[in-house]
Structure 1
Amino acid sequence: MSEVMDYKSRLSDPASRKFETFSYLPAMNAADIRKQVEYLVSKGWNPAIEHTEPEHLMDSYWYMWKLPMFGETDIDRILGEAEACHKANPNNHVRLVGYDNFAQSQGAAMVIYRGKTV
């Protein structure tokens, strides 16, 4: 049987906390974020930007940054909204969500800007 890897994510150690898709990987750079947005658009999913304070990271509710961008296919516009959210809330975690309107669920959700740990 294969060995199970233990990712040292502990509540007592804020720097080790893991959350959302890709949180076990290094933080995404601009090119990585762009690829994820391109993927969401290629799947026909509706992008949305959400953010929350680091102390509320594990809560189910995150603040929505404007309305979801229904039918938006301009990658630069989506990235611009994500950047605007990050600039307006520099200490918050910012999440990119792709809503699949056929399955009526989230197709993808990932933290693209990590806030300060508490």
Structure 2
Amino acid sequence: MTTQDYPSRLSNPNSRKLGTFSYLPQMTAAQIRKQIDYIVAKGWNPAIEHTEPEFAESNYWYMWKLPMFGESDVDAILAEIEACKSNNPGHHVRLIGYDNIRQTQGANMLVHRAEMD
């Protein structure tokens, strides 16, 4: 058995892997909707964050508004993701599902990878 090398380099922001699903192909709209369904079904609080691609490996991302406490409308969450993308062109956008019982992130995934020059 061999291990596959992912050619990720600091000098190339496009090559960086960012979170749970980043080693897989970009999620489709339907797949993102299923992930949001899962977050809502678990009762987790969705939150949206964004950052410039060159700072994506940092621990600090900008929060898009406050977490959506108690939000269970998948379309409302998708609309906020789209609003974040529109208002922050050139930024990566990620979705987080906060588990308020365990006081941790139950989910964290990139839902939009910015195009790099």
Quickly name the TM-score band, shorter chain normalised: over 0.9
Q: Distance in 1 between matches of 2:81 and 2:101?
A: 24
Secondary structure at 1:15's aligned position in 2?
helix
Q: Tell me the CA shift for residue 117 of structure 1.
A: 3.3
1:30 aligned residue: 29
Q: Tell me the CA shift for residue 116 of structure 1.
A: 2.9
1:9 aligned residue: 8
TM-score by length of 1: 0.93
Amino acid at match of 2:106: G
- Structure 1 vs Structure 2: percent identity of aligned residues? 63
Amino acid at match of 1:114: R
Q: Distance in 2 between matches of 1:67 and 1:12?
A: 33
Unaligned runs of 5+ in 2: none
Unaligned runs of 5+ in 1: none
CA RMSD of aligned residues (A): 1.3
Map residues 1-118 of structure 1 onto 2, 5 A cutoff.
Answer: 2-117=1-116
Amino acid at match of 2:113: R
Q: Distance in 1 between matches of 2:107 and 2:51?
A: 17
Count of paired positions: 117
